[in-house]
Chain A
Amino acid sequence: MKIKSVKLREAHKGSSNASFCSISWDLHAHHLVTASSSEPSISIHDPLLPSNPTRVLRHHRDGVTALALSPNSTCLASGSIDHSVKLYKFPGGEFETNITRFTLPIRALAFNKSGSMLAAAGDDEGIKLINTIDGSISRVLKGHRGPVTGLAFDPNGEYLASIDSIGTVIYWELQSGRTLYTLKGVAPDIGSDTSTLNALSWSPDGETLAVPGLKNDVVMYDRDTAEKLFTLRGDHTQPICFLSWSPNGKYMATSSLDKQVLIWDVNRKQDIDRQKFDDRICSMAWKPIGNALAVIDVMGKYGLWESVVPFSMKSPTEDIPSSRSKNNNGLLFFDEEDQELSMSGSLSDLGEDNHGESEPPSRKRLRKQSAIDDDQHEDVYDELSFPKTESRKKVHRGDKENSDKQKDGLRSMMAFRPKMQEAFQPGSTPPQPGKRHFLCYNMLGSITTIKHDEYSHIEIDFHDTSTGPRVPPMTDHYGFTMASLNENGSVFANPCKGEKGMSTLMYRPFSSWANNSEWYMRFEDEEVRAVALGATWVAAITSLNFLRIFTDGGLQKHILSLNGPVVTAVGFKDELAVVTHVSDCLPSNEQMLEFRIFNISKGTQPFKGRLPLTPGSYLTWFGFSEEGQLSSYDSKGVLRVFTSQYGGNWLPLFSSSKERKSGENYWVVGLNASKLFCVVCKNPDSFPQVLPKPVLTLLNMSFPLALSDLGEEALENEFMLNNLLLSQIQKRIEGMAGEGLDTTSLDDEAFDIEAAQDRCIFRLIASCCNGDKLVRAIELVKLLSVEKSVRGAIQLATALKLPILAERFNNILEERLGSKTGVSTSLPSSKHVPSIKADTATERSEISEPIISSSSAKLSAPLFKRKAKSSDGVKFGKQKTDGDQTANLEDRTAGPSHANTVKEEKKLQVQRPSNPFLKSTVK
């Protein structure tokens, strides 16, 4: 057996002596709640970001002995030594009410599966059943002779089981409040020690009740008959003090007074793993999603035991049996909160939306796994193949439950299915209790908010304090959760809040000649999901998939219907880009997204298409570069930039996996043509805090190039990047020229890039020559834009003693010169151009043979060429004239028309610029 050690962290500093502590997960595994009976505070931890401070609730006046979370995790109940039971909203932790009081300390609390009823018990006699909706006590169950230490509602809602400190277990029928069975002395008598409490637990399917036994074991009792079914006995050397079923009921965790925690495979009745701790573990909770167990010991130290169940076995959260009900929103009295939660988009939102559609596949899955196809109802039981002793009464259950059960089963399956990602604003960070967070952060500035009790406090800051407008902070009574910022103004929106709360959109210009130029829009039965801001317009995309466009004065200008639920939207000058879902995501966990670019002022849609993402990732940032190129960044750290090449495509321009130094996450803020601006966050944080002010880091763009045999990744990358820049600039120049604007500055820029590109190509040629990649070198030479660089390349090739290559380079240069001069000089008739080309071509073929035989007149034309060439050769370097050409020259000079040619040469050299003219005239 592997020895893994679980590190425990202190959650509660109690007194030095042992005291009972409790721990509990919320439904989505976003929070861990802990409490200790030696301390009056309750802590809500965030297990994902341990750096976040825990929220501490201090309402009790004495140690907290019991915690219970309602099944939908919207309500937290706590019981204390101070005799009171309090209710809080969850996860906010706002104190709600003192729901009941006892005369003695509370020891146990439990919600029923719908959350409508809370059972509380303790050292008093009598278990109180409290209606959580109005706080009325619906029943008091009396029958225990000792302090009640454990309560458990049957998941099917018929029974309540309770256990007291002297070891008596009672089954209560909830309907009538009668005692069904009393099992005396089945559990250990723990006496008056309050640091351990007898616990008991129903299996998630409600078929068995697990109770600590007298022989350091766990005894399973039948649901309906209370007959002893079987026991789990193993290596515990002292009585068991806590037990917990895994969410699917296949495993059980037990902790004993011997400080061990054992994990059991319930079906095989065997322990599969164990861990020894320094102190007694007094409470445990299985993570509702995943494979982990949260434990807390009597000293108030808690920890998370990851991968409890070996990977070879089924996950403890796979195939959750369907009798758990979460569907009825039982907790009516927190309705408002509930709604707010789902609106602000914890995952319940989308989960509900696509619940219907996803039903068929999941049902299939369930069926496949259990291999019985006639009845869903049967399947569940088959999976938990218990010894057949219990299989008598189950047929009994009503059919109405059956359908409920199916639904719930599917519901819990949802947790493992990939989800469509929610709508987000680029540059926002998730809200953190008690801290400021970003609603919007871009290259211009930031909008931050912090929530106080009744209102939020919003601040707008510009990075450039010298030129940006100064915006006074504002108090926000709407609770805005979305915002966007540009130099002219800011737009805010909130989701629906509560029952009456309507979704509101607010625009606030930074400078306006008129007073009160901010405006509000309200939406009924519709909520804003994303906002974007452009030059003179505001866009809001709502839950009805409407794209609403307003002018900055507040005029409602356009309302368009989009194809699917929005993911995000972003504006830049005239352009608005919107990302929407195309469909539910693929089973391979790929989001199916689509983007559209709208030009608001022209009323056109220049581009639309699928938005590519790295497989298994989701979109985390979306925006325009400083030059207006649409860009996206996904959760796997790949930046893509949209280009109009090939009819509109996304180019992967950066990958954090290549760049990443270990332990760093990049939170993208913006980019320009060659750099990516981001905030570097140290792991495990994936986003920055408002304070200290984040500082931007510049990262270089890089194509995900294949490892070339040339080994010049940096150069190749630069080469591709320059190509991209050139194409972008050319497109802009065309665009501007089309509008009749002055393009000189862009031309200059293009020229600079061309020059840089030539330098880059030149270095690539050098490395190609060195690496003996001659064909590639030729290709590169053809890409050089300036003749001078070609000459440089020739020189280089000769210097490297590659005469064949130099010759080819030379040909390329000639070809280019020929075509260029042909085009640039305005010949009287265009038909001369081809003739010249032909001429150069013939010349090339003639190049190695002496031409003395031809007449001087005929000679002059090629001669010029050659002369120019050879002078190039002389100018550029060295052995150029070594080869055929020197031979040619010698031949020529030796020829009969010696004086003539020399003269001719001189003349030609003088007239060099107008040479083609001359050439054509000579002809």
Chain B
Amino acid sequence: MSASAINTITAATKSVVAEAQGGRSNPFLLMPITLFFALLSVAVLRAPSLMSASGIGAAIIVVTPLILATYALMASTIAGRGTIDLSVGPLIGFINVTMIQLHAAGLLESPIPVFLYCMGVGAAYQLIFSLIVIYVRVQPIIVSLSGYLALTGINLVILPRPGGTAPAFMEEWGFGIEIFSPILVILLLATTAWLLFTATAFYTHLRLMGSDERAAYTSGVPITIVRIGAHLISGCFAGLASICFTALISSGDPSQGTTYTLIAVTALVLGGASLGGGRGGVFGSALGALNLYLITYVLSSFNFGSVQSFVTNLAYGVILVISLLMTLLIPVIQRYIRNFSPLLYFVALSVVVLGIILHATFDYGSLGAVGVYVPGPFSLQAALTAPLETASLTTETEALRLAAAPLVFSSIILIIVAVFLRLAIGQSSRRTIGPAVAVVVAALALAGAYVIAEGANTTQTEVIK
């Protein structure tokens, strides 16, 4: 009796230990992912033109400076001590106006000096910042406040009003008519650079220091170097953000950059990073920034007339507060979903949203006499050739089809989602999720690219018609 009891207890203990530990992955990504797809669906349903080459191109141009600004903020925020770099916006503005003025003075013509200059200035500023934090030992928030005021002022001194021209090579970057622009390359390179960086020991040091600086110090982590490094990275991101910002406006603007501070902080929080340090990543930050863009986009699809910007403000504020309140639910979610895999969740939702995108960009009216509706390239091909045959359909059948198609569609999606959710929650405790995810992601990317390409074609065809 007693022996068995002990055995049971030991067995119980093991399960207790497994249960007592929270999830390994970051449940804080749950919110941004959900919000992203919700907004994306609404955006696509409201204004399908988002899913065209020019729509996505424009989105990338607008959102990239914001994403990079958020990265810049993130890099120093991870370092802990409550480093919320309020001066990131003015810094972007500062690099912008000095670059424009130097360009006007005949310097900084070709890309390489421009890039070196921007990232150099950003890094230099952040170096000073970090040295003050480390050696003068003033709270980082105060240093950043100081930097905010000083840079905002000096920006106006350097360039009193918007104007000037960006270096010539940047001229075309800001058009945003195609997806694969240099801006996208910058964004992808920056993201990849960060992801590569996360593989180094330096990143581990950074995260540990941000989470508990004293623990890191006593364990022998070179905290001074790590903090300086974090700020240098932040400065480089700020420089890149400034380049993209310059490309976006094609000129200099002393005050526009300043607004990036508040937006980037909001994006960072929306992305699930901890303002206390130690937690944050490019995935969440990019999602946060994208969410903000999508909010603006969705709202602009409603016509509020003269109060448009006020509604945007209101929505920003409300969504920010709500998403903060949602973080209160994280522990509850954590209790029910122990091993949450953000990647699988992302994949599952993207299937759903891809469906919605298909639904939104798909021209049902032109649906041909194809027997059963099959989602995918085939039906799209049919869709392109279909208009000739529509006439043969009676209005009743057409109405029936129109009604049935979304149903069939959504049921297929539901099945896929169910499968993926099952996978996401059930199997994510395995070390690797396996190549399945990679295949699915690749397939989705291809499908997405295809849809977009077709979408672009469709619009062109329409134009021709």
Q: Do A and B come from one complex?
A: no
Interface, chain A (partner B; CB < 8 A):
none
